[in-house]
Amino acid sequence: MRRHPGRIPVPLLVVVLGLLLLGSLVCGVGLGAAGVGWEDVFRFLGAGFTGGTIGAGDVAAYTIVWEIRLSRVVLAAVVGAGLATVGVAVQAMVRNALADPFVLGISSGAAVGANAVILLGAFAGLGVWALSVSAFGSALAAMAIVYAVARSAHGLTPLRLILTGTAMAYGFEALTTVMVFGAARGEAARSAMMWLLGSLGGATWARVPIVAVTVAAGWAWLRLRAEALNALAMGDETSAALGVPAARLRRELFLVTAAVTGTVVAVSGAVGFVGLMVPHVVRMLVGADHRRVLAVAPLAGAVLLVWADVLSRLLFAPVELPVGVITAVVGVPAFLLLMRRGGYAFGGR
């Protein structure tokens, strides 16, 4: 990749963020309400990765470190990477710097399915998978509805996607609100609100692989289509002149982003601002070329959500805050600061 004046070299940024992510994962495992010493943390991690043995008296602490904290921080990293990646794709798809993975109404649709499980006990026969399966299924249903309504003779245009997604999101949110207010149990309503604002409290190792594979596959496809995304971001006419069929590419992007968003939201709830803020910040660092942006954004999103989750666990321990509250507290002032810089628009300054 060519280096652009005033931009940070991508290889250097990738290395720095990679090391920062590794350090963040270790800190995320070591920090928590339950006091586990750092020496024990490293000992348990070593035992877990190498298959070593631990004493009978260490089983409880080992379970906290390996089964609870490590699975949680790994899932946080994967979810953050997925949201940041999809944010880049959605902003290119609709050519709107204010777009994020939830502008298509898919997360709101997932909320309907998730709350049907939490509040109404739907799909109880699926056990621990009921929430994820229901949320993902309703996300796909929301995707199908948005696609059917937004599609026209000219394909999926940015304006129709935004308007349809926004309108459907309001409808799904209204349905979710009715379900919450109609809940017979206060604790169920609280659990529903935690999910709506994003939470990684239900993280398990069983949930990590499918999310990781989906996010990796989505990122790989987008990375291969980076040049086409550059053309699409310049407008449909320019895209066509460069040999990129905008309507078909936008349809493919819609399917990929919907699948990744639905999978991520099914395990983490609606975590806001990651998909909106991270692409902005990354473009300021490396420029608008999607080859560079997609190389950096997943790492930045992973680091951001790992630390947001750590703060959500520590600030009011032992009470846990929704992780979406932390990302909003960080994201709102950061977004306003970006706007105050002046002259900032989609794809660059």
25-34, 50-59, 190-199, 340-349: segment of lowest average pLDDT: 340-349
Residues 6+ apart with CB under 8 A from 337: none
pLDDT bracket for residue 1 (50, 70, 90): very low
When pLDDT is cut at 50, 70 and 90, the band that residue 186 belongs to is low
Query: Does the structure show a pLDDT above 90 at 25?
Result: yes
pLDDT value of residue 82: 95
Q: Quick check: helix, strand or coil at residue 270? A: coil
In order of 1, 29, 43, 45, 89, the CA distances from 55 in angstroms are 51, 20, 11, 14, 48
Percent with pLDDT over 90 in the chain: 26
DSSP string, 101-130: TTTTSHHHHHHHHHHHHHHH-TTGGGGGGH
Task: Return the minimum-mean-pLDDT range out of 110-114, 188-192, 269-273.
Answer: 188-192
Q: What is the pLDDT of residue 4?
A: 54
The top-scoring range by mean pLDDT among 218-227, 259-268, 331-340 is 218-227
Which structural domains are found in the chain, ordered by start? 10-340 (1.10.3470.10)
Instruction: Write the pLDDT tens digit of every residue in 32-84.
Output: 777 777 887 888 888 888 877 787 777 888 888 888 899 999 999 999 999 99
Global model pTM greater than 0.95: no
Residue 157 has pLDDT above 80, yes or no: no
**Where on the phi/psi map is residue 302: left (φ > 0), alpha (ψ -120 to 50), or beta?**
alpha
Q: What are residue 348's DSSP bridge partners? A: 345
> What average pLDDT is seen over the chain?
84
Q: If pLDDT is split at 50, 70 and 90, which confidence band does 128 have?
A: low
Least-confidence region, from 31-45, 137-151, 163-177, 182-196:
182-196
Q: What is the pLDDT of residue 319?
A: 82
For residue 331, is pLDDT > 70? yes
Q: What is the pLDDT of residues 200-214, one digit of tens each?
A: 888 888 889 989 999
pLDDT band (50, 70, 90) for residue 122: confident
pLDDT value at residue 6: 52
pLDDT in tens, 285-323: 898 899 999 999 999 999 999 999 999 999 887 888 889
Percent of the chain whose pLDDT exceeds 70: 92
Least Cα distance to 128 among 259, 267, 320, 265 occurs for 267
Return the closest-CA partner of residue 78 out of 279, 301, 297, 276: 301
pLDDT at 341: 64
User: What pLDDT is recorded for position 94?
Assistant: 83
